[in-house]
Amino acid sequence: MTPNEHARLAGQASQILRENDRGAYTVPTKGLYPFQWNWDSCLTALGFAAFDEDRAWREMETLFAHQWPDGMVPHIVFHQEDEGYFPGPDVWRTGRPVPTSGITQPAVAGFTARRIYERSKDKAANAARVRALVEKIDRWHAFLCSARDPRGEGLVAIIHPWESGRDNAIDWDEPFQRVPGEGIAPYRRRDVDHADPAHRPTKEQYDRYLWLLEHFRRHDWNNGVLHDLSPFRVVDPGFNAILIRSCTDLAALADELGAADIARANRARAEKGLAALERLWSERHGQYLCLDRTTDGLIDSPSVGGLIAVFAAIPEARAGAIGARIMEIAKRCRYVVPSHDPADSRFDAKRYWRGPAWLIVNYLVSDGLAAAGMDAVAETIRASSLQLIEKGGFAEYYDPLTGEPCGGGQFTWTAAMVLEFLRGGEARALAPV
């Protein structure tokens, strides 16, 4: 990539962040997702930090201003009314002063906070606001390690597929069969008004998503009981790896800011989680798998969730196996990393999380591989990501076989990840953004 190409892509990505900026938060894209999403915002903050550090911190501060009293950070904050999205606040009915959803998402905030602070040009100027954010992130981590791991096993479970961020992943098919789809209130989906229905979750899946939502609502969103009351309890290696990495990074950041108790607590959480993660390793697949906490057995579904595990400081041999697995998968598709193994008969190249490639996943996986010393595989992923942008623009996700853009367009976190890829990898030898 030439310096001019680098500057052009960076300019396009920055413009998308500005277009989707609502002052104190961003929307993922106009129309399809008109509110603030949890891990979207945290990853978007990395993009803002490339040209406006204050705006980056404000993005995360706005999200954490809506943290629940029990420490949970909801996956959606409904800052304004918009009938173009379903399910909206009238369905969730969580009773919050500013309406929010009643479930959470991957806890990537500890990682993003540390990375932005590390790059800060004036750490002293931001120390107080970052310290306040560190305390809130610590409360979120404590919530997850309690409410979603009530037996203290070291790994947390998701109680709704939306909590994983990988809504309709093949991983959920088997445990999702225990969730009824009948008896829910009539509804009209709005996502298919903005995106091709063939690229979205099915109606059958939506019926079950809504059954869980209504089930939790009947129990007043009491996180003290929802884990055990949910018929869907899955330990996702990707979700846990993100939490483990964020605990590790929050501990380092807390140490730098003089918050020794927070550092100690998060270091202990990370160590316990890493040890427990070994239970999810599949020698046959050469990657981690999800665990169904109801049956206590691994789910035979080789998805990208088991590859995201490399984002945490997993053992060197495991990281090497995941790197090799990605290069093997790369032989079966033109662009990496697909969200499911193309060799699996259930793979669907265009349907949301059942096959497509996502730049945010590519970023997490490549960052973990680079930290493990596997620069060649990491660079393969970075290069593939930028090729997808050149071919299909800043889409929500992409067909890994053809590069066709799918889902929403002008997507915020895709643009943010492009800025991150341009700041690392091949961009090291080029002019800064």
Residue 278: pLDDT band (50, 70, 90) is: very high
If phi > 0 it is left, if psi is from -120 to 50 it is alpha, else beta; for residue 299 that is beta
Percent of the residues in the chain that have a pLDDT greater than 70, as a whole number: 98
Is 375 among the catalytic positions? no
Average pLDDT over residues 191-209: 90
Catalytic residue among 163, 249, 341, 396: 396
Q: Is 425's pLDDT higher than 60?
A: no
Catalytic residue among 138, 167, 249, 341: 167
Is 167 among the catalytic positions? yes
Q: Among 2-11, 52-61, 154-163, 291-300, which stretch is predicted with the lowest mean pLDDT?
A: 2-11
Residue 432: pLDDT band (50, 70, 90) is: very low
Average pLDDT over residues 141-168: 98
Average pLDDT over residues 81-97: 94
Average pLDDT over residues 376-396: 97
pLDDT tens digits, 316-326 = 999 999 999 99
* Res 385: pLDDT: 98
Across the chain, mean pLDDT equals: 95
* Res 222: pLDDT: 98
Q: Is 424's pLDDT higher than 90?
A: no
Residue 172: pLDDT band (50, 70, 90) is: very high
* Res 205: pLDDT: 96
- The CATH number of 3-424, from 2.60.15.10, 1.10.3720.10, 1.50.10.10, 3.40.50.1220, is 1.50.10.10
Q: Is 426's pLDDT higher than 90?
A: no
Residue 190: pLDDT band (50, 70, 90) is: confident
Q: Is 429's pLDDT higher than 60?
A: no
Residue 1: pLDDT band (50, 70, 90) is: confident
pTM for this prediction: 0.96
Q: Are 41 and 417 in contact (CB under 8 A)?
A: no
pLDDT tens digits, 45-59 = 999 999 999 999 999
Q: Among 33-42, 380-389, 410-419, 424-433, which stretch is predicted with the lowest mean pLDDT?
A: 424-433
Average pLDDT over residues 270-282: 98
Give me the residue spans of the domains in the chain: 3-424
Average pLDDT over residues 107-119: 97
Q: Are 320 and 303 in contact (CB under 8 A)?
A: no
